[in-house]
Structure 1
Amino acid sequence: MKAPGMAVRRADVCITAVLIICCLLAACKSQSDFLPPDPEDPPAATSSAAMIIDHACTDLDLIPEEWIEEAKDYLNIAYGHTSHGSQLTTGMTGLVSFMGDLYAYNSTGLSGALELHDSPFSGASDLGNPDRTAWAAATRTYLDAHADINVIIWSWCGQVSNSTLTDIETYLDLMSGLEHDYPDVYFVYMTGHLDGTGLDGNLYLRNEQIREYCRENDKILYDFADIETYDPDGTYFGDRIPDDACAYDTDNDGIRDGNWAIEWQESHAQGEDWYSCSSAHSQPLNANLKAYAAWWLWARIAGWEGQ
C-alpha cells in the first residue's frame, strides 16, 4: 500500500521536471532569435496622425470623386483671409470653369456645391489684422452663432515674416484653446507666404515652428509656403530665395531673375495643363496649386486617407 501523500509528491516531481525541461529548451533557442533586427528589414514606421497639406497634395486627379462629393455633403467651412489667402478661393473659382461643377462651392451648399463662407468673420480680417489675437475672438463669436460650421481656416498675410517665436506660440496657443472649446470643429493651421528671405530668413524659421508643432501634436496644416516652393513637376525652389510672386534666383547670385510659375505656364498649354484665374500678388499657376491643395484638404477632412 502506498504511503499517504506519495501521489502528491510524485506529481510535484513531474511538474518540477517539466519546468526544468522548458527552461533548458528556452536556453537552447537558436542564437538568431536574439539578434537585433536586420537593418535592411526595419520595423514599419509609425505614421503620424497629423494631416499635412503641402506641395505633395496638388495632384487633383488622385482625389477620388466620391471623396469630393463626401466633402461637399459633410463640410461647412468658414475661411478668414485677406489678399494672399484669396489665392485659395480665386483658384477654386477658376477651377470650376476649368474642370466643371464637381468642384463648385458657394455660401449655402445648395445645388450640389461645397459650403464655404468666404471671409464671414466680424472683428478680424486675417491672422494678423488688426492684431495677432482678434481672429480668435472673432472665431468664437462666429461659431457661437453658427453651430453648423465644422471647419475653420484662417490665413496670414505677411505677418509671419516679422513674427517672433513668442508671436507664433501665441497663435498656436489660441488655436489649441479653440480646439479644446469646440471639439466638433476641425481647425486648420497655416504657414505664411514666401517673402524672398530664403532658408536663412525669419519667415522660414517661424514656418518651421508651425510645421513642427503640427507634426508633433497631430494637427491639420495647410502649408501655404511649401505649396509655392515647388512647381507642378516637383522642382524645388526653396534654396533660390523665392518670393510670393514665384520669382527666384536662377544662378545663385542673390538676384531673383526668374519666375518658375511663368516659365511653367509658358511651356504648358493653358486650358489643358493650367487655367487662368485671379492670383493676388502672384501668378495663376500658384492659385491653381492652392486650389488643388484646398480640395485635397477638404477630401482628407471628410475622411479620405490620401494616396
Structure 2
Amino acid sequence: MKSISHLLNLFLLIAFGFSSCEKADDEIIPGKKGVVADHTIASEIILRSIPDEYINEARNKLHIAYQHTSHGTHVSYGMFGLPDYKSGDETRFAITNNNPQFDKLDFRDNAMASYAEAGVDASDLSRNETAFIQASRNYLDDPDNSEINVVMWSWCNIAGHDVAANYIPGMQTLVNEYGESGSKIGFGEGQRGNSVTFIFMTGHANKGDNVGDGKPKNQADLIINYCNEYNFYCLDYYGIDTHDMDGNYWEDAGDDGNSSAGGDFYADWQSKHSIGDGYFESRSSPGGSVTYGAHNSQHITANRKAYAMWYILASIAGWE
C-alpha cells in the first residue's frame, strides 16, 4: 500500500508540474507603464511639450528595431523628416537608420524580416500572422543585436486577421520572454542582458470599410483595450488615420486622410499651411529624398505618426 501511495503522490506531482507549466505559457505579465498614442497625442503641440531631458534620454538610450512594409513607412519617413523641420530639431530629433551614431536615435528600419524561419515571410504582421514571434526571437537572440531595447512591428492591411488569437497572444509571449523580468532576460546561457519594450500597433484605415468583425476599427478596439488593461504601449494608426486636425472622427476615412463625408482633410490642412510652419516634409532616410509615406498624397499622416512615436519613446525613457 505504501508503494502505491508513493506512486500516487509522484503522479500528482508530475501532473501538477505539467499544469503549472501550461498555466505559465498563458500567463499575462503586464507592462509597468503604457500609453496609447492616438490622434489626441499625435500633434506638434504635444510633441513640443515634452521636456528636453526625456527626448534626450530616448535619443541616447533607446535602440529600436522596426519591421514593416509599405504602410509602415508612415512612421519611419516621418521620423526621418522631422529633424529638418525647425531650428534645433536637427539635434533634438537626430536619428540614424541602421547606422548607430553618438547622440542620435538608433533606429533600425526593416530589421527583422531576414530573421524569419526559412521559407516564412515575416515582412510585416499581415503576411503570416505568427511569423513575427520567431523572427523577433531570432533577432533578439543574435548577439549582434544585444543593444536593442525597443521592438515594433507594423501591419499592412489588418482586415480579416485573427488579432485576438494570434497577434495579441504573440505579443504577450514576447513580453513574457523578453520584457522586464522576462524568462530570457539575464546572464545565463540563452539569455540577453537588455530587456525589451514591445510597442503594439493598430492597423491603417480602409476607406468606407472600417466597421464590422475583423475590420480596422473593431481590430483597433481589441488591441487598444488590451493595451489599456495591461499597460502596454500602442501606436494607434487607425485613430490617426480617421481623425482630422480638429479631432473630428470620420468613420469612413481611408489611409490618406480621405473621407467621402469629411473630404481630403489632411491634404486640405496641408494646403493651408507651409513647410516649416505647420508641417514638415517626410524623407526616405535621414537627410534623404523628400517623399510621402506609402499610399499617401500628403505629409500630415507621416508627421502625426512620427509625433506619436516620439511621444511613446519619451514615455519609455521616463516621461510622466
TM-score, reference length from structure 2:
0.73
Q: Which residue of 1 aligns with 2:275?
A: 270
Matching residue within 60, 74, 80 for 2:61:
74
Q: Which residue of 2 aligns with 1:175?
A: 171
Q: Tell me if structure 1 keeps the 8 A contact 2:245–2:266.
A: no
Letter in 1 for 2:132: W
* Cα distance in 2, alignment partners of residues 120 and 209 from structure 1: 27
- Please give the residue correspondences for 1:105-124 in structure 2 after superposition, counting only pairs within 5 Å: 105-106=95-96, 107-121=98-112, 122=114, 123=116, 124=122
Q: Tell me if structure 2 keeps the 8 A contact 1:72–1:109.
A: no
**Structure 1 position 284 matched with structure 2 position 299:** yes
Shift of residue 162, structure 1, vs aligned partner: 1.5
Shift of residue 298, structure 1, vs aligned partner: 0.8
Q: Which residue of 2 aligns with 1:237?
A: 249
Q: Tell me if structure 2 keeps the 8 A contact 1:104–1:114.
A: yes
Letter in 2 for 1:261: Y
Q: Which residue of 1 aligns with 2:147?
A: 148
* Cα distance in 2, alignment partners of residues 112 and 50 from structure 1: 25
* Cα distance in 1, alignment partners of residues 154 and 307 from structure 2: 17
> CA-atom RMSD, angstroms?
1.7
Letter in 2 for 1:52: V
Q: Which residue of 2 aligns with 1:56?
A: 40
Q: Count how many residue pairs are aligned between Structure 1 and Structure 2.
A: 246
Matching residue within 221, 226, 233 for 1:220:
233
TM-score, reference length from structure 1:
0.76
1:119-168 residue CA offsets vs partner (Å, 9 max, x unmatched): 11112111122x1111111100000012211101001001x11124xx43
Q: Which residue of 2 aligns with 1:193?
A: 204
Higher share of residues assigned helix: 1
**Structure 1 position 93 matched with structure 2 position 92:** no
Q: Tell me if structure 2 keeps the 8 A contact 1:237–1:248.
A: no
**Structure 1 position 293 matched with structure 2 position 280:** no
* Cα distance in 2, alignment partners of residues 49 and 298 from structure 1: 12
Matching residue within 103, 124, 127 for 2:93:
103
Runs of 5+ unmatched residues, structure 2 = 1-31, 117-121, 180-194, 283-291
Q: Tell me if structure 2 keeps the 8 A contact 1:67–1:302.
A: yes
1:34-61 residue CA offsets vs partner (Å, 9 max, x unmatched): xxxxxxxxxxxxxx94321111212321
Q: Which residue of 1 aligns with 2:135?
A: 138
Q: Which residue of 1 aligns with 2:156?
A: 157
Assess, with a 3 A threshold, how the Cα gap between structure 1 residues 199 and 289 changes in structure 2: closer, same or farther.
same
Matching residue within 124, 127, 138 for 1:126:
124
Q: Tell me if structure 2 keeps the 8 A contact 1:199–1:238.
A: no
Q: Which residue of 1 aligns with 2:8?
A: none
2:278 counterpart SS class: coil
Letter in 2 for 1:85: G
1:56 counterpart SS class: coil
Q: Tell me if structure 2 keeps the 8 A contact 1:52–1:221.
A: yes
* Cα distance in 1, alignment partners of residues 235 and 93 from structure 2: 19
1:78 counterpart SS class: strand
Q: Tell me if structure 1 keeps the 8 A contact 2:126–2:155.
A: yes
* Cα distance in 2, alignment partners of residues 215 and 156 from structure 1: 20
Runs of 5+ unmatched residues, structure 1 = 1-47, 252-257
* Cα distance in 2, alignment partners of residues 117 and 141 from structure 1: 16
Shift of residue 238, structure 1, vs aligned partner: 2.8
Runs of 4+ in 1 over 6 A off after TM superposition: none
Assess, with a 3 A threshold, how the Cα gap between structure 1 residues 200 and 180 changes in structure 2: closer, same or farther.
closer
Q: Tell me if structure 2 keeps the 8 A contact 1:152–1:187.
A: yes
Q: Which residue of 1 aligns with 2:265?
A: 260
Q: Tell me if structure 1 keeps the 8 A contact 2:126–2:161.
A: no
Shift of residue 72, structure 1, vs aligned partner: 1.2
1:82-118 residue CA offsets vs partner (Å, 9 max, x unmatched): 1101111101111111133221111343141101111
145-154 vs 50-59, which deviates more? 50-59
- Please give the residue correspondences for 1:34-45 in structure 2 after superposition, counting only pairs within 5 Å: none
Letter in 2 for 1:194: A
1:77 counterpart SS class: strand
